[in-house]
Amino acid sequence: MQPRFACDDEVRVIRNLRNDGTYPGYATGTLLVRRGSVGFVRHIGVFLQDQIIYSVHFLEAGNRIVGCRETELIPADAPWVPNRFERGDQVTAKLALSIDGAVAVNPGMSGAVLAVLREPDTTADYHVLFGQRLLCVPESALDAATPD
């Protein structure tokens, strides 16, 4: 088992990192580092003898050092397209969205992002709940909801 990254390598995290209960001073589930953040590998270790864990220092995310699995990291200079929305964000449809040719969501209708679907080098798609309908919507079809 060879590590993909070395100490002092600059890396980008591709998933939101939340406290799993091992980060002191923060409640379980608290967002520690947002996807797309860049940090530096400070230490390399092994968990359960089959997972490489990197201690990554994220200067711009509150100067935090967070343990990351190799699958959560890419080189900082690898292609990356940031996503505009996160789980829980309120959005509106920019255009009519249809299912089997029938309009299911009218332009301007509000919805809530339930999941972000993405690969590091592509724009995101989202699972958005519009009323009682859950749709997979490309980022280009959404706008941020304006506060009332």
Strand order in the sheet with 73-75: 64-69, 51-58, 38-47, 10-13, 73-75
pLDDT score recorded for residue 20: 87
Alpha-carbon gap, residue 144 to 32, rounded angstroms: 23
Q: Using DSSP, state whether 72 is helix, strand or coil.
A: helix
In this prediction the pTM is 0.74
Determine what percent of the chain is predicted with pLDDT higher than 90. 51
Sign of CA dihedral 94, 124, 59, 76: negative
Residue 69: HSE in the Cβ half-sphere, 13 Å Cα cutoff: 12
Query: What are 20-43's pLDDT values in tens digits?
Result: 888 888 899 888 998 889 999 999
- Domains along the chain? 10-75 (2.30.30), 90-144 (2.30.30)
Nearest to 10 by CA among 67, 81, 58, 51: 58
Determine what percent of the chain is predicted with pLDDT higher than 70. 98
Strand 31-33 and strand 17-18: the pairing is antiparallel
Query: What is the average pLDDT across 120-140?
Result: 89
pLDDT score recorded for residue 2: 85
**Six token digits for residue 109:** 């209708």
**Do 45 and 99 meet the contact criterion of CB atoms below 8 Å apart?**
no
pLDDT score recorded for residue 148: 60
pLDDT score recorded for residue 95: 92
Higher pLDDT, 41 or 79: 41
